[in-house]
Amino acid sequence: MIQIRFKSRPDFWKKEQSGCKPNTIREFFDEKDIRKKLLDDFIKDGWKYMEIVMVNTDNNQSFTRTITDVSKYKGFYIISWRT
């Protein structure tokens, strides 16, 4: 199973963890970031099983969710998951 990991500010993390905001928007500045390639592959190949791990920047708590969609808009990746 493929997992990608992102940090999230405490105010966003709480909403994401509760399911109130089941998505995140990311921009990559390093073309070599493996997460960018994995997300591009998800978009290109259609649905495949991938999980996202969101880590609270304040206390390092984390949660894991199954990614349901990855969309790209003007260089930003919109990652959605099932709660």
Q: How far apart are CA 72 and CA 12, in angstroms?
A: 20
Domain count, the chain: 1
Closest by Cα among 72, 69, 63, 78 to 16:
63
User: Does the predicted TM-score (pTM) go above 0.85?
Assistant: yes
- Given this model, what pLDDT does residue 83 score? 86
* CATH code assigned at 16: 2.30.130.30
Q: 53: left (phi > 0), else alpha (psi -120 to 50), else beta?
A: beta
pLDDT by position in tens, the chain (length 83): 899 999 999 999 999 999 999 999 999 999 999 999 999 999 998 767 899 999 999 999 999 999 999 999 999 999 999 98
Write the single-letter amino acid at 4.
I
32: containing domain:
2-81
- Given this model, what pLDDT does residue 47 score? 66
Residue 4: burial class (beta carbons within 10 Å; 0-12, 13-18, 19+): buried
